[in-house]
Structure 1
Amino acid sequence: MPTSTLLAAPDAKNTLWTPFTYTLFRAIWLASVVSNIGTWMQTVAGVWLVTTLTTSALLVALMQTATSMPAFLLSMPAGAMADLIDRRKLLLFTQGFMAVVAFLLGVLTLVGEVSALGVLAFTFLLGLGVAVNAPVWQTVTTELVPRPVLPFAITLNGVSNNIARAIGPAVGGVIIAYYSSGWVFLLNGVSFLGTFAVVYSWKRSEEATTGPAENFTGALRAGMRYVRYSPAIYAVLFRTFAFAFGASAMWGLLSVVIARKLHLSSGAYGSMLSWLGAGAITGALLMGRAGKWLNFNQRVLLGSLVYVGTNLCLALVTNVYWLYPVMFVSGIAWLMVMTSFSTTIQLHVPKWVQARVVSIYMLVFQAGISLGSITWGELADHASLEVALLVTAGWMLASMLLALPFPMRSAEGLDLAPAGHWPDPEVQGSIDPDDGPVVVMIEYTVAVPDLAAFRQAAARLTRLRLRDGSLRAGVYSDVADVTRITEFFYVATWGEHQRQHYRFTREDQVIEAQVRQFHTGQIPPRVTHFLSFPKTPNIEVALPFETMEGQQ
């Protein structure tokens, strides 16, 4: 897509409907709605089919495991792949793979050649496709709309999930009742083909070079390192886990409240979910106004407070009609909180590491939901349902205190485009990207009254060096002349240092300028690069046995 198509008019007033003015986003969003509906249909049909093929409750319960386990196994590797491989090609592969799996399951079901274990296996394969697809699908949105429109686009992605949740199970149930689960699987396969066709029509522009190619394990380490040294990112991750851990009680225990406490049928449970979905869709419509009144941090706090009330109501209210509006408000809060987390993550991350950070975010969210469901379910079994929900309400209330040590920072105005201002160093001879390690030293002259302020500014720059690939970094002063300061950072290989050049953003450049303003020398700070001597590849090479004998 040409860059010009992503430039919004300066005086344009963005709303929830603005992303739909971008043709490709509109096409992919509609395709995602259809695909999500197919996925929810598949979920209902798969569980029902296993229920009819076996009397084992364990096999039925394992359907959820077969769906969620691939996300734990592949979330982070998938994020690394999405940053290393062309995202369009990866989407085409995952959509095609899932279509083939769905078609095979549908055909085998229709001819009566599928067993309960077979359904579990095919469900696991589909889960693998979803796990690889999810991080890249999340990050593609940033390429379809300009940055000011991104919060609305992410909100609409949440709306598509809730529309599918409201429609998919109902449509799937009707097809199962009148025809067969096999037809549901085939329709799900068709939905994947529809998404495949839309993505295939996407003429993605070539990406700018980001230095020597990363290997897979190096890419994984780079993603985890980026999160470790990015306070704005790990603040969101802490808040995400705390919220997901507490909110999981509603998702995990709602059916138990309906069946055991209120003694109602599955129809009432379905109605509750419908009210949740309706609330989420309404929340999307309110997000425009919420953006004017509340920042992301305040939205998460408000949503957490709503879930305090949700759990209290599920524990104490005995009239189902009072719970319907509670679920409606809970749906609004759910969408408001989840879009706040997702948008904050994506707005704080440059493109080169975006999918990896999103995959870590998704892993943390899934871990919170899974661990929370187990915790609150165990508590409900060993104490009581009411006690579990009341404790959950207390957890949600306490989790709001995390806003003090881990505030969600505004990303408004951040410029995460590559700075591209580091000149390539002058070298003698050729250097292989695997040569190393490399030490970079930058010499400053700083006046004594400015040393304290310089130290604070340099600490922020040191964190950036570590975040972008340095194994060690620091600032030292000459014991003979305290005004002579040397900043150093240590990188594993020459290729990794070259990648640092491309990872440094314009936002980082501002922090570097704050450090350099304290330099009082007549010439700019002197930068020198040192390569391990003698120059050798930075890999362990076993010495021949004869050589080792000679060294003894």
Structure 2
Amino acid sequence: MTGPGADAEAPAPGLFSALRVRAFRVLLLALLGANTALWLHTVVAQWVLTVGGASPAAVAGVQAALVLPFLVLALPVGHVVDSRGAGRMIPGAMAAMALASAGLALVAARGPVGSWLLIAATAVLGCGLVLCIVGWQNRMPQLVGRERMGSAATLDGMVFNGARAIGPAVGGLLLAFLGAAWVFAVDALIFAAAAAICTRFPTPVRSDATPPGSMGPAVRGGVRFVRHSPWMRRTLLRLVLFSLPAAAFWALFPVIAHDVIGLGTVEFGLAFLVIGAGAVLGPALVQPVRRRWPVNVFVAVGCTGYAAGLVLVALDVPVAVLVVALFVIGTAWVTVQSAWLTGAHRVLPDWVRARSIALILVVHQVCQGGGALLWGWIADGLGVRTTAVIAGGVMAAAALTAVRWGMLPVDGMDPSAAPSQFRNPVGDDRRAVLLVVEYRVDPCGVEPFMAALRLLEGTRRRLGAERWAAWREEGGPGHGGDAVLVVETFRMRSLVEWADVQSRRWTVAERRLLDDVLRHALAAPGFRILVET
């Protein structure tokens, strides 16, 4: 399950290098089955509503119900994973999804399933999806290592979108010959089998596991890290500009296929088979180009291809053109998304990785869910053809901005843990603290020192500092002789959190910024911890 680098990137291992890890191969196969069941359910639910005469907004509501649970659960789940690890989260979620699908199958066997029940059941599966995605994104680097995360993220996307082909194709056949109840029963069996496979490969217990602590401060800490990370802010911008117009296709294609193109149940499944073929084969076909092109150029081309495919699908085009358009949409969907997830795994430190990726997934899924409702509402007024053309235009405009305002470079952003200069083990003291750091700076070097200190401010805030401030001695050198006194102050929520900063949160990249500040100082700084009384 899956849910966004730079103009220059280091050479990466081959596309299939992550498959050399047996546990990754087996778990990826289990996730392929679970994703297939998920999309089997989603597309069949949309098709049942479409054939039953539901409005485009109601059909789009299925997609919205699948992704909106991310709003409530993703960040809290990310906090638990950051603190304790994924544990048995993935098989437990799949088992719950199996039970929900079995219940829906029993209801469907008794008669037609109402719109609200279908949407409610989809929301239950959406909750399980949150647990699986966040847990799996945290598990992948543990299985394959950061150096193979480009391969793992792309393969994950290929599996996820390959399931979009297998699920609708199988769902269309089962729906046509056996009915909705059997579709949901097959879902339950697949989820149960995937849960059993994942149980055989439990997540190792983390040696540095900590109590989860208060949920609110932890979630705010994750948001604070993203807020003060220029790379994350730019990545989220690119994600929104792609995901919002992209949602139009997934929300409206069932209506376009039925009302505009005139596809039957089997043909509808075959259309998704073409999309899945693009998602699986496309990344392999474009891999040589991906290695040569700057990532932002590659993303811009992907967005352009998606926009063209979206417009062509809504027009009266020959079958061959329609097949090419669907293939391109599948390819662009995987390759563009893998760009931000690959970059995220390369730059995010372990202590906040799950929460940060959860926030990426929240934004992506909210754009998918909110976009589905938005485009469905527009389609109710303007028609699906006009709406698809508008969405394609929005995507094309986003492609134009990808080169100038694209993702920031990841080179040099080493997220490996690094010890801090100041280490103060404090046990379980929850009192707030004020940190005071006193620097002596050459009068001629105050400006470059202050510039370096401003860069360090971002690090302090990402690591948890509040109320950061810098104070500079006025009137030239004071009692320190030929040195200017500069004082840095910031607040931490507790001594426990400050100890966590020293033991887990400093990274190689962050330490470089601290070292740059120290190089501009005349001597080692003075350091004091003031405890709230």
AA aligned opposite 1:174: L
Which residue number corresponds to residue 4 of structure 1?
none
Ranges in structure 2 where 5+ consecutive residues have no aligned partner: 1-10, 478-483
Which residue number corresponds to residue 419 of structure 2?
420
Q: Distance in 1 between matches of 2:354 and 2:286?
A: 25
AA aligned opposite 1:14: P
Which residue number corresponds to residue 192 of structure 1?
191
Q: How does 1:250-261 map to 2 (within 5 A)?
A: 250-261=249-260
What SS is found at the alignment partner of 1:411? Answer: coil
- Kept in 1, the 8 Å contact 2:169–2:270? The answer is no
Q: TM-score, normalised by structure 2?
A: 0.86
Cα RMSD after superposing both structures: 3.1
Structure 1 range deviating more: 510-519 or 317-326? 317-326
Which residue number corresponds to residue 81 of structure 2?
82
What SS is found at the alignment partner of 1:88? Answer: coil
Q: Does 1:36 align with 2:27?
A: no
Q: TM-score, normalised by structure 1?
A: 0.84
Deviation at 1:103, TM superposition (A): 3.1
**More contact order relative to length (CA 8 Å, sep ≥ 6):** 2
Deviations 1:202-225 (A, max 9, x none): 254442427675321121111111
Which residue number corresponds to residue 498 of structure 1?
499
Deviations 1:297-317 (A, max 9, x none): 222111122234334434665
Cα distance, 1:302–1:48 mapped onto 2, change above 3 Å = closer
Cα distance, 1:148–1:308 mapped onto 2, change above 3 Å = same
Deviation at 1:398, TM superposition (A): 2.7
Q: Distance in 1 between matches of 2:388 and 2:179?
A: 38
Q: Does 1:472 align with 2:472?
A: no
Q: How does 1:200-211 map to 2 (within 5 A)?
A: 200-202=199-201, 204-209=203-208
- Kept in 2, the 8 Å contact 1:262–1:320? The answer is no
Deviation at 1:360, TM superposition (A): 1.2
Q: Distance in 2 between matches of 1:49 and 1:252?
A: 14
What SS is found at the alignment partner of 1:442? Answer: strand
- Kept in 2, the 8 Å contact 1:275–1:324? The answer is yes
Q: Distance in 2 between matches of 1:100 and 1:263?
A: 35
Deviation at 1:125, TM superposition (A): 2.4
Cα distance, 1:205–1:339 mapped onto 2, change above 3 Å = same
Residue from 461, 465, 470 that aligns with 2:456:
461
Ranges in structure 1 where 5+ consecutive residues have no aligned partner: 1-11, 536-552
Bigger Cα Rg:
1
Q: Does 1:147 align with 2:146?
A: yes
Structure 1 range deviating more: 491-500 or 148-157? 491-500
Q: Distance in 2 between matches of 1:65 and 1:310?
A: 22
What SS is found at the alignment partner of 1:527? Answer: strand
What SS is found at the alignment partner of 1:16? Answer: coil
Cα distance, 1:271–1:170 mapped onto 2, change above 3 Å = closer
Cα distance, 1:81–1:31 mapped onto 2, change above 3 Å = same
- Kept in 2, the 8 Å contact 1:299–1:340? The answer is no
Q: Distance in 1 between matches of 2:155 and 2:414?
A: 24
Residue from 442, 457, 470 that aligns with 1:447:
442
Which residue number corresponds to residue 529 of structure 1?
529
- Kept in 2, the 8 Å contact 1:425–1:529? The answer is no
Which residue number corresponds to residue 351 of structure 2?
352
Cα distance, 1:405–1:79 mapped onto 2, change above 3 Å = farther
Cα distance, 1:393–1:109 mapped onto 2, change above 3 Å = closer
AA aligned opposite 1:503: R
Q: Distance in 2 between matches of 1:301 and 1:286?
A: 17
Q: Distance in 1 between matches of 2:281 and 2:146?
A: 24
AA aligned opposite 1:519: A
AA aligned opposite 1:440: L
Structure 1 range deviating more: 305-314 or 239-248? 305-314
Structure 1 range deviating more: 334-343 or 477-486? 477-486
What SS is found at the alignment partner of 2:235? Answer: helix
What SS is found at the alignment partner of 1:87? Answer: coil
Q: Does 1:127 align with 2:126?
A: yes
- Kept in 1, the 8 Å contact 2:467–2:490? The answer is yes
- Kept in 2, the 8 Å contact 1:445–1:519? The answer is yes
- Kept in 1, the 8 Å contact 2:66–2:122? The answer is yes
Cα distance, 1:44–1:303 mapped onto 2, change above 3 Å = closer
Q: Distance in 1 between matches of 2:388 and 2:41?
A: 31
AA aligned opposite 1:37: T
